[in-house]
Each structure stands twice: as C-alpha cells, then as structure tokens.
Structure 1
Amino acid sequence: MTAQLDTYPQAVRDAVARTREVVSALHAELPRWGLVVWTAGNVSQRVVVDPAAGPGEHDLLVIKPSGVTYDELTPEAMVVCDLDGELVDGERSPSSDTAAHAYVYRNMPEVGGVVHTHSTYATAWAARGEEVPCVLTMMADEFGGPIPIGPFALIGDDSIGRGIVETLRGSRSPAVLMRNHGPFTIGKDAKAAVKAAVMCEEVARTIHVARQLGEPLPIAQADVDSLYDRYQNVYGR
C-alpha cells in the first residue's frame, strides 16, 4: 500500500514520530528479559496526539514489522497502521499479529499498548490451557487475581483480538494466556504492557517451580483485593 501518512495533520505526524521512537526502544526490552527468540513477539502503541484528551479521530498504532530481527529494529523500521490493521506508513509488512492488536484498540479505548511474546513459562501454561493461580503477593499486586486463559484462535484475522477482549474486559489482569499460543498483555501505554509481559513470565516461572515442590498455598480473596488496591492506588504515589 502507498504511504498515506503525509495526508494526516502535522500534529499527528509528530505524534507518530514520537511513538515510533518509544516502540522501537521498548522492543529491546523483550530479548533483554528473555521473553522472545528470533523474530517472534511484538510491541505496539496507540498514537495519541494529545495525552490529556485521549484517543482522537486520527487513531493509529505503531507496531513492529513482520519477520525483522530485533537488532535490525529502528524507529524508521516501525510501521504505522490504522485501527483496521491497514498499513498507513512503512517499508515492510506489519506484524502478523497486527489484526489482534488493532481489534484490542478498537474495542478497549482505555488500552494504549499491547505486547505479545512466546515467553517460555507463560506459554507452557497456555499450552496446558491452565490459568496461573494467584498465590503470590506480587501477583495480587500486579494482576489482582489469576492470569486467565483465553480461547484458541488462529492467526490471520481478528480472532485472537476477540479472544483477548472477551477475556480481559472486566478483568483486573493486564495479561491473558491465549490457549496453545502464548501471552498477550495490555497497558495504558506500551511501557506498561511490556512491564506486564515481564511480570507475567516471572510469576508463571515462580509458580511452576513452586508446584514442583507441592501445591502452592492460596491467598484469601480479601487479601488479594487489599494488596491490589494498595499497589495500584498507594504504592509509589
């Protein structure tokens, strides 16, 4: 598709340039934390012209191009798509997961960033179709409960996106394990979604190890609620 970004207002093009910088830099965090291999995985962020106003009429996303290794990624290499997943600007094809990301943005306006990885332990739980139980205070802080399992869905259209939205809408968890596939995480921006991906893998690994020693001890729901409220509304404020 011919690039169309030059038809957008200058403020939008400036916001796209800033978002390309952010998304490019955050992709480096995925191999740094051992969440991806080769060219797998991706980060996207919604383009917001005025953060105080939220998503606007010129709603776009920036995402990794398909099949490009992480050491080749630059801001210029990032591709820009509309929220139907159609290419607006870029030299390469968008990630094969673009339709899923776009569906999330269309249907969850509060989401500003989406991340997908195939991190080993989280993906192992997804392969078993089993949610990660909330048996750690750190997990109560970050996820407010278990990390849920989403439905099986094929890549190529918005089926994965529908599964993500159906599972996470109304949930406190910013992560979902799509069955037989792997984790997707969301956040107010891409940095928050990357953090959720890192934490998802950490708790999946820790709880897997705990289960080799015996059954992990549950945390009472009232305590989960208290921990989540404190971490989200008091900690670091």
Structure 2
Amino acid sequence: MSTAPLSPEVQVAVARVRDEVAALHAELVRYGLVVWTGGNVSGRVPGADLFVIKPSGVMYDDLDPANMILCTLDGEVVPNTPGSDRSPSSDTAAHAYVYRNMPEVGGVVHTHSTYATAWAARGEAIPCVITAMADEFGGEIPVGPFAIIGDDSIGRGIVETLSGHRSRAVLMQNHGPFTIGKDARDAVKAAVMLEDVARTIHIARQLGEPLLIAPEAIDSLFDRYQNVYGQPAGEAR
C-alpha cells in the first residue's frame, strides 16, 4: 500500500489523536473495564480519512503515542508511520467499518467489562430503569448479533444495531460491549457509564423486577442531560 504524504495540518491532527488515544487507554484500566491486553480505544483523525487505534497484544503500561497505529478507513495500516511495524488491534476492521458508515462517530471503544459482558452473554438488552441511563443513553442498551472477530462482521452488527438508536453502546452477543462517541473521550465515557448501569441494574434484579421508566420521561431526561446539564448559564440549547 502506498499513500500520499500527509499535509502538515493532518500531521498535527494525527499527533493530537495519538496523544489522546494513548492516554485514554489508562482510563479503561482506572475504571476496571479491561484485563491483560484486552480492549481498545480508537479515534478518528479530524479532516482526514484516518483513525488511530491501539496495537494488538501490547500491555497497557507499555502504550504511548508512538506505538499507536494509524489506519485508513479501510482498516489498513499507513506504512512508514510510528507503530506501523506492529499489528493493529484484532478489532480494527470493526472500528473501520463503523467510521466508514457512521460519519458522525469520532471514537470507538471495546471492552470486556464484567457486568456489560454478562448481559451480552445472555443476549439480553439492558432495560432503562434508572434516570442515569435515560440521561446518558436515551433508553435501553440494545443487543447486537453474534459475529466472529477478525473481519468487519462485528462492525456491521454495531452499525445495524445503533443506526437510528440514541444509545452510544451496544452489547455484541456472546462477546461484549462496544461504545461510540463524538470523539474518543466521549466513547470512553460511554464505556464507563455502560458498565456502571449494567452493574446497578443487575443488582436491582437480584432484589426484584426493576420498574421501567415511561418513554416520555426518558425523552425528557435525555433532552435535559444532553442539552441543558453542564452548559454555561445562558448557553443551554
């Protein structure tokens, strides 16, 4: 594969995404979402058909911007760039498919976090029974189809499941969660919040049947959190 040299502007953007993606992997460890070398974060490069993703099989303590891998939206490693001597994450094809088919997505995260993966193992959507879940995801966390790792089958399942859905998270059946966001940090936040609600609602079900939130209340909560919460005074949309 041969590619044209990157413009200075794109080189700056790539460097920023490398820094961000490398640092965000530490958040997966901090929140207990990954073990050993499993899981990955990727981030789209603004202004270019490129994304940055974690290398395969590298310990989290050994990750840094220089060994992040730059890929095209076809999932091919860009040659002669830092990290290009390594293999990219085994989920690279899935991430690439999401970026090609969901242009609004700027970040993708995959973990095997315990509670979310337990729901995925049962092939059961997480019902929207707490306000924090309505705020963050706008409804239930849906289940995506079973798919084999290594090609774009997982990516196809993610796109098919989340297209037209407010959730930024999907439970791929028998595999685990994938989350998307406007950028890599947003996708990591979704992964953290997903595991939190998956754990809480699992515990609630041990006590009895959780109470569903009415759809109109979910809509109101989601709109407030997404458009009002945290906005400076006078700037809420």
Q: SS of the counterpart of 1:185? A: strand
- State the Cα distance separating 1:135 from its structure 2 match: 0.1
Does residue 15 of the first structure (1) align with residue 10 of the second (2)? Answer: no
Residue in structure 2 matched with residue 53 of structure 1 by the alignment: none
CA deviations 1:62-100 (Å, max 9, x no partner) are: 000000010000000100000000000323111000000
Which consecutive residues of structure 2, in runs of 5 or more, have no partner in the other structure? 232-237
Task: Using the aligned pairs only, state the percent identity.
Answer: 75
Residue in structure 1 matched with residue 30 of structure 2 by the alignment: 32
Aligned residue among 85, 108, 116 for 2:110: 116
Residue in structure 1 matched with residue 185 of structure 2 by the alignment: 191
The range that moved more, 88-97 or 16-25, is 88-97
Aligned residue among 70, 86, 92 for 2:76: 86
Aligned length: 227
Question: 1: CA distance between counterparts of 2:122 and 2:138?
Answer: 22
Q: Which amino acid aligns with 1:79?
A: I
Does residue 76 of the first structure (1) align with residue 74 of the second (2)? Answer: no
Question: 2: CA distance between counterparts of 1:225 and 1:15?
Answer: 36
Aligned residue among 124, 127, 143 for 2:121: 127
Q: SS of the counterpart of 1:87? A: coil
Q: TM-score, normalised by structure 2?
A: 0.94
- State the Cα distance separating 1:11 from its structure 2 match: 1.3
Q: Which amino acid aligns with 1:46?
A: R
Supply the RMSD in Å over aligned alpha carbons. Answer: 1.1
Q: SS of the counterpart of 1:44? A: strand
Residue in structure 2 matched with residue 147 of structure 1 by the alignment: 141
Does residue 67 of the first structure (1) align with residue 71 of the second (2)? Answer: no
- State the Cα distance separating 1:9 from its structure 2 match: 1.3
Q: TM-score, normalised by structure 1?
A: 0.94
